[in-house]
Protein backbone atom coordinates (compact mmCIF):
# COMPACT_ATOMS: atom_id res chain seq x y z
CA UNK A 1 0.00 0.00 0.00
CA UNK A 2 1.31 3.42 -0.91
CA UNK A 3 2.13 5.86 1.86
CA UNK A 4 0.24 9.12 1.59
CA UNK A 5 1.07 12.43 3.21
CA UNK A 6 -0.02 16.01 2.84
CA UNK A 7 1.99 18.68 1.10
CA UNK A 8 2.60 20.46 4.42
CA UNK A 9 3.87 17.23 6.04
CA UNK A 10 6.16 16.67 3.05
CA UNK A 11 7.62 20.17 3.34
CA UNK A 12 8.30 19.74 7.06
CA UNK A 13 9.69 16.18 6.83
CA UNK A 14 11.24 15.88 3.38
CA UNK A 15 14.54 14.42 4.59
CA UNK A 16 12.68 11.64 6.43
CA UNK A 17 10.45 10.99 3.40
CA UNK A 18 13.48 10.90 1.12
CA UNK A 19 15.22 8.35 3.35
CA UNK A 20 12.04 6.23 3.63
CA UNK A 21 11.56 6.12 -0.13
CA UNK A 22 15.18 5.12 -0.69
CA UNK A 23 15.17 2.43 2.00
CA UNK A 24 11.75 0.89 1.24
CA UNK A 25 11.79 1.44 -2.56
CA UNK A 26 8.09 2.34 -2.19
CA UNK A 27 6.67 5.61 -3.52
CA UNK A 28 5.15 8.18 -1.19
CA UNK A 29 2.14 10.10 -2.52
CA UNK A 30 2.04 13.78 -1.62
CA UNK A 31 -1.41 15.34 -1.83
CA UNK A 32 -2.39 18.98 -1.77
CA UNK A 33 -5.93 20.21 -1.48
CA UNK A 34 -7.25 21.45 -4.79
CA UNK A 35 -4.28 20.06 -6.75
CA UNK A 36 -3.21 16.85 -8.38
CA UNK A 37 -1.12 14.52 -6.19
CA UNK A 38 2.54 13.79 -6.93
CA UNK A 39 4.75 10.89 -5.92
CA UNK A 40 8.25 10.70 -4.54
CA UNK A 41 9.91 7.67 -6.11
CA UNK A 42 13.54 6.51 -6.46
CA UNK A 43 14.94 7.66 -9.79
CA UNK A 44 16.16 4.20 -10.79
CA UNK A 45 12.64 2.81 -10.19
CA UNK A 46 11.19 5.54 -12.40
CA UNK A 47 13.76 4.81 -15.12
CA UNK A 48 12.87 1.11 -15.02
CA UNK A 49 9.18 1.90 -15.43
CA UNK A 50 9.87 4.25 -18.34
CA UNK A 51 12.04 1.60 -20.03
CA UNK A 52 9.35 -1.06 -19.55
CA UNK A 53 6.68 1.21 -21.01
CA UNK A 54 8.96 1.95 -23.97
CA UNK A 55 9.61 -1.76 -24.60
CA UNK A 56 5.89 -2.59 -24.50
CA UNK A 57 4.83 0.21 -26.89
CA UNK A 58 5.43 -2.09 -29.86
CA UNK A 59 2.82 -4.86 -29.99
CA UNK A 60 5.30 -7.26 -31.62
CA UNK A 61 7.97 -6.53 -29.02
CA UNK A 62 5.45 -6.98 -26.19
CA UNK A 63 4.53 -10.42 -27.57
CA UNK A 64 8.22 -11.42 -27.79
CA UNK A 65 8.91 -10.20 -24.25
CA UNK A 66 5.91 -12.00 -22.75
CA UNK A 67 6.79 -15.17 -24.67
CA UNK A 68 10.37 -15.01 -23.38
CA UNK A 69 9.07 -14.49 -19.85
CA UNK A 70 6.86 -17.58 -20.13
CA UNK A 71 9.77 -19.65 -21.46
CA UNK A 72 11.95 -18.43 -18.60
CA UNK A 73 9.30 -19.35 -16.03
CA UNK A 74 8.94 -22.82 -17.57
CA UNK A 75 12.74 -23.08 -17.78
CA UNK A 76 12.52 -24.23 -21.40
CA UNK A 77 15.25 -21.90 -22.62
CA UNK A 78 18.48 -23.60 -23.55
CA UNK A 79 21.78 -21.79 -23.11
CA UNK A 80 23.24 -20.49 -26.36
CA UNK A 81 26.59 -19.10 -27.30
CA UNK A 82 26.89 -15.53 -28.52
CA UNK A 83 27.54 -16.82 -32.05
CA UNK A 84 24.35 -18.92 -31.93
CA UNK A 85 22.34 -15.90 -30.84
CA UNK A 86 23.84 -13.80 -33.62
CA UNK A 87 22.88 -16.47 -36.17
CA UNK A 88 19.33 -16.58 -34.82
CA UNK A 89 18.99 -12.83 -35.33
CA UNK A 90 20.68 -12.87 -38.74
CA UNK A 91 23.61 -10.83 -37.53
CA UNK A 92 26.20 -13.22 -38.95
CA UNK A 93 26.09 -15.60 -41.86
CA UNK A 94 26.60 -19.32 -41.49
CA UNK A 95 29.70 -20.64 -43.24
Q: pLDDT, tens digit, for every residue of 29-46?
A: 999 999 999 999 999 999
Helix (H, G, I), strand (E, B) or coil at 80: coil
* pLDDT score, position 80: 83
Query: pLDDT: is 78 or 58 the higher one?
Result: 58
Q: Over 80: is that where the pLDDT of 70 sits?
A: yes
pTM score: 0.65
* pLDDT score, position 95: 53
The answer to whether 29 and 5 have CB atoms below 8 angstroms apart is yes
Q: Over 90: is that where the pLDDT of 9 sits?
A: yes
Amino acid sequence: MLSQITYNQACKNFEQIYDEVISTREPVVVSREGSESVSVIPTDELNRMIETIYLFQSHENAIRLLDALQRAKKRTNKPQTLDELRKNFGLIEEV
